[in-house]
Amino acid sequence: MLIIAHRGASGHAPENTMAAFRLALDMNADGLELDVHQTKDGEVVICHDDDVKRTTNGQGLIQDMTLEELQRLDAGSWYGERFRGEKIPTLHEFMALIAETRLLINLEIKNLPFYYKGIEEKIVRTVLEHDLLERVVISSFDHYVLAAIVELEPRMKLGLLFGTSKSEPWSYVEQLPFRAYSLHPHYTVVNEEYIARSHSQGYKVYPYTVNERAWAEPLAIAGLDGVITNYPDRFL
């Protein structure tokens, strides 16, 4: 079972910062999950919310700020004084770190409620430039953006994110105009049957956000492919 650090090792460091990603690497996580948005001047950056208020000392929407404006913000001290000076990373910066490792990447496109024009091309280009096609799964709650990605790069692995309302996605996924690689359900809908059904249709299962080892253990035996967790250290 793969251990994928959610927003980096976000249980121990400020989410979606290079500190959180490096910590997950030090903890021997198998992979990293990250969330991306696009700035006013078209840079792909890593942050969960579309607004910087919660995770930096600034405020405003990412789509209304330039990269330079964003990188003046402190993305670490809200979490703890020792993380002061952490910045909102760019996707390029992140990929440069990853290319030096063997980590798997789950890149989540945050394309709702805003549509980031052209983000698909930039992401595909960045993955290819860093020669990471084999190690990346691109996921989103917005399945249209995944369709756009596969149009650009048919080899890209795609993960379908679902909230709690879609507890039985199997006929839906077969009707999509593209073939997904994995299902990324909310962990509360996952059980042995969910795993067996998904596997019988050829999909891997990566639930989020799994923070309890006791929950994952029986499902690991049932063949669960991975967990997306804030605490990779609890599973390794």
**Could you give the residue numbers annotated as active site?**
6, 48
Q: DSSP code of 117?
A: T
Q: Token pair for residue 197? A: 């059904």
| Residue 84 or 135 having the CB closest to Mg ion | 135
Among 37, 87, 130, 184, binds ligand G3P (CB under 6 A): 184
| Residue 131 or 144 having the CB closest to ligand G3P | 144
d(CA 49, CA 56): 11
Site string for Mg ion, 7-36 (x = CB under 5 A): ----------------------------x-
Among 30, 35, 43, 86, binds ligand G3P (CB under 6 A): 35
Query: By rule CB under 6 A, what count of residues binds ligand G3P?
Result: 10
Question: Does 108 interact with Mg ion (rule: CB under 5 A)?
Answer: yes
CB of 161 to ligand G3P, least distance (A): 6
Backbone angles phi, psi at 31, to 5 degrees: -155, 170
Site string for ligand G3P, 123-152 (x = CB under 6 A): ----------------x-------------
Q: What is the largest CA-CA distance in the chain?
A: 49
21 binds, among ligand G3P, Mg ion, none (CB under 5 to 8 A by kind): none
Residue-wise burial string across 117-143, b where 16 or more C-beta atoms lie within 10 A, e elsewhere: eebbebbbebbeebebeebbbbbbbbb
| Residue 108 or 120 having the CB closest to Mg ion | 108
d(CA 205, CA 77): 35
By CB under 6 A, name the binding residues for ligand G3P.
6, 33, 35, 48, 108, 139, 161, 184, 208, 228
